[in-house]
Amino acid sequence: MRRFKTTLVAALLAAALPAGAAPRRVVSMNLCSDQLAMLLAAPGQLVSVSNLAQDPRMSPMADQAAAYPANTGRAEEIYLMAPDLVIAGTYTSGATVAMLRGLGIRVETLPPAEDFDAIRDAITRMGALLGREDGARDLLARFDAELAAARGTPDRGRAALYYANGFTSGRDTLAGTILDAAGYRNIAGDYGIATTTTLPLELLVMAGPDRLITGATWPGQSRGEAILDHPALSAVAPADAQVTDRDWVCGTPFVTRAIRSLR
């Protein structure tokens, strides 16, 4: 009963906010929006982030995320937090988003950022959603400065991205953008690949890249990840093999660290 009254009071306060006022209770339920929200939110404004944000294998802000209550993206638990703004991703469960909106809660969705302009747009939009425009401008300035410093010299060689199930990423993806910024030519372009799709292992080996970047493996056994242990891969640029990590997952300012790691 007490929890219900607390939720009701918070909901009434949220409804009473003047038009254009910054939200007071924000819940993020997407790994990428979690990071931008933590970077920009005012003290006490962000009340919950997704549980993925607290996973150090996927989140570069896992330590900071540990200070927030975690949510698992269920409408019921988020509603009980009495948010006046929920930030979701394009691929967040449509049923969850619809239910929250049906309960009168404002939900905004952010698309995944696949290039640097999209990252800039995401920072600007997050700043506007939180009423933190000045902070967003400062973050943009830092991002641009760090990006300029991180960029590698052109023509550092040819590189290949290779993940579980034999997938690779082309120029129109975040990983492809990181590769290009580091100064490498993506062999996916040799095969007309611009997005993320499968690349036969034989074609990868025949391409003979100067550098190989593979996907991170997870505990346990996975048939999809078995290809990353294939002996042929160990013969492809063995001295320069690298594994993607948490800085590669989301289109946030942390991509500059991924670029520097390739240098």
What residues have CB less than 8 Å from 192, skipping those under 6 apart?
none
Query: Is pLDDT at 2 greater than 80 in this prediction?
Result: no
Same fold, 2-147 and 157-261: yes
Domain locations in the chain as residue ranges? 2-147, 157-261
> What is the per-residue pLDDT across 206-224, written as a single tens digit (0 to 9) for each?
999 999 999 887 777 688 8
Query: Is pLDDT at 19 greater than 70 in this prediction?
Result: no
Taking the domain 2-147, which CATH number applies?
A: 3.40.50.1980
Model pTM score: 0.89
Per-residue model confidence (pLDDT) at position 131: 98
Taking the domain 157-261, which CATH number applies?
A: 3.40.50.1980
Taking residues 106-133, what's their average pLDDT? 98
